[in-house]
Amino acid sequence: MTSSFDPNDMIQRFRERADAVRRRGVPPIEGPERQRFMEASRLDFQDYAMLGDAVASLNDGILRLEIDLRPPSDA
């Protein structure tokens, strides 16, 4: 890792990726391939959105991402 690494920049890129997955259309595919594409898109969005919600810290070369998965009423 270089000293110019900013974990908050990385978090922003994941937010942008989640937004891009949400906006992307479904290609003209049918049947099981369509379902696989839609499931992959759902998982991509979920993963990118979770990382986009993370609180990042970089201490002594260790990147720590904290993601609160508790329901909003418990957080």
For the chain, which residues score pLDDT lower than 50? 1
Domain count, the chain: 1
Q: How far apart, in Å, are the Cα atoms of 46 and each of 33, 40, 61? A: 20, 10, 27
- Nearest in space to 49 (alpha carbons), one of 18, 73, 21, 9: 18
pLDDT for 63: 93
| Structural domain boundaries enclosing 18 | 7-65
Q: Is residue 1 part of a domain?
A: no
Q: Map residue 65 onto helix, strand or coil.
A: strand
Q: How many CA atoms does the CB half-sphere of 37 hold within 13 Å? A: 12
> Which is nearest to 22 in space by CA: 4, 45, 46, 2?
45
pLDDT in tens, 37-58: 999 999 999 999 999 999 999 9
Domain-embedded: residue 74: no
Instruction: Give the predicted TM-score (pTM) of the model.
Output: 0.78
Supply the pLDDT for residue 68. Answer: 93
